[in-house]
Structure 1
Amino acid sequence: MNRKAVVLLSGGLDSTVCMAVANSEGYELLPISFNYHQRHSRELVAAASVAQHYKIDRHLVIETNMEAIGGSALTDASLAVPTGQIGAVGVPVTYVPARNLIFLSYALGYAEVTGADRVYIGVNALDYSGYPDCRPEFIALFQQLADYSTKAAVEDGRKIIIETPLINLTKKDIVLLGDRLGAPLHLTTSCYQGTDEACGQCDSCLLRLKGFAEAGLPDPILYRTRSD
């Protein structure tokens, strides 16, 4: 029987490289993406393209309405997406409250039902935007929760492991890893604005461009403007 891994796939650089890592480790890939009523659907289009690249039979897309909660520039159009603030201190307005907690909970349930023993998530604690749910402490505590919250763990003795292969990598390292593994980086999107051409100015674009520049590789996606 093939080992199975649920992969949280946003269509962005990190999640796509994370998928490439799971693929390289021989897992049958079970990608899960989320329509959480974000301001744009461009990332879902990218996620579908990445799943097709890996010839995935089933790409699960969950709908959950985080727009109703609000509080983030990624779900509330009245809040402006910040630009040029990757060095700012504190949690930025692009943080979506409890997003990874919610997404991991869905992924954990999906892993239990499908028999997967791994959940891969591309969180990163070095070159990142300061989100609290991308930090090692959060993942460690969620793992403890997972060990007590599923029938698979408490009755069947089947522990589902949360894998974070990118958590201690810089964006440069992530780009180089993706390139080495043949990840379809040209299909990804990172821009918070969600346009066909990335804006090149938001924090996510700036972090991505910085990573490619430091890796010495061209970023294969289109930008409206580039700061590199």
Structure 2
Amino acid sequence: MNSSKKAVVLVSGGLDSTTVLALAREQGYECYSLSFDYGQRHRAELFAAERVSKTLGDVEHKVVRLNLDSIGGSALTDENIAVPEEASEGIPVTYVPARNTVFLSIALGWAEVLGAQDIFIGVNAVDYSGYPDCRPAFIDAFQQLANVATQVGVEGGRYEIHTPLMDLGKDDIVKLGARLGVDYSQTVSCYQATDDGLACGVCDACRLRREGFVNAGLEDVTRYAN
């Protein structure tokens, strides 16, 4: 492996980001996985992120603490807002305001320190629940920002934000992960998972995940509470 081929990979502990980490590793990158303790209610994902990062062989796993719960505005950070258990139209209440903008900004800073010019994130424009910061337009805009807001960009380098899952359905993502040997039983996608990582089976994240396994014709290895 080329030791100079470094990448920062955003890893939440869920199905998508774990698949992205496995893919970046297959492509020969030395992966530095980055997770965020941002005040999310489903904190089991942090333990899942640590598990999958170790299993897939990253160089380092860093957890950055933020307090997005202090501003609220999302069912994922405010316990007074119920997590919806039915599909909703428009932007759902599980959208966390500016989350991916903040996450990518910190990933960019770490990449600059590491001397890495590649950042991977598992955003998806097909099964993305309507989040505005999962669209190609957002990624393109952030990549432009990255290349004018950093020393690397000013000195002629170039950052690339990799979104390998952008145009894939959840079933295609599951198939890709299966080919890469991902153990999805280690991942947690549920918006209201128990402390032990058991999924509710009814939230939007659980619904999309389950449909992915079904449509891929693969066993759903998710651990459900019921």
CA contact (8 A) 1:84 1:201 kept: yes
1:6-53 Cα offsets, whole Å, 9 max, x none, are: 000000000000111101100001000000011131000000000110
| C-alpha deviation, 1:147, in angstroms | 0.9
CA offset at residue 114 of structure 1? 0.2
Structure 2 alignment gaps of length 5 or more: none
Number of positions where the alignment pairs a residue of Structure 1 with one of Structure 2:
222
State how 1:80-119 maps to structure 2 within 5 Å.
Answer: 80-85=82-87, 88-119=88-119
Structure 2 residue identity aligned to 1:119: I
Unaligned runs of 5+ in 1: none
Query: For the residues of structure 2 that align with 1:64 and 1:29, how far apart are their CA atoms?
Result: 22
| Superposition TM-score, scaled by structure 2 size | 0.96
The DSSP-based 3-state class of the residue aligned with 2:221 is coil
The structure 1 segments of at least 4 consecutive aligned residues displaced by more than 4 Å after TM superposition are none
- Structural mapping, 1:48-197, within 5 Å: 48-85=50-87, 88-155=88-155, 157-195=156-194, 196-197=197-198
Distance in 1 separating the partners of 2:121 and 2:83: 24
Aligned to 1:11: 13
Q: Does 1:33 align with 2:22?
A: no
Corresponding residue for residue 219 of structure 1: 220
1:10 partner SS: coil
The alpha-carbon distance between structure 1 residues 57 and 3, as it changes in their structure 2 partners (threshold 3 A), is closer
1:100-121 residue CA offsets vs partner (Å, 9 max, x unmatched):
0000000011111101120000
Number of the residue aligned with 1:46: 48
Percent identity between the aligned chains?
56
Using structure 1 for the length normalisation, give the TM-score.
Answer: 0.95
Q: Secondary structure at the match of 2:60?
A: coil
Q: Structure 1, residues 166-224: CA drift from partner, whole Å, max 9, x if none?
A: 00000000000000111221210110002132000000000000000000001212113
Q: Distance in 1 between matches of 2:171 and 2:57?
A: 27
Query: What code does the residue aligned with 1:218 have?
Result: E
**Which whole-Å deviations, capped at 9, do the CAs of 1:118-146 have from their partners, x for residues lacking one?**
00000000012100000001001111111
In structure 2, C-alpha distance between the alignment counterparts of 1:2 and 1:102, rounded to whole Å: 26
SS in 2 for 1:73: coil
Root-mean-square deviation (Å): 1.0
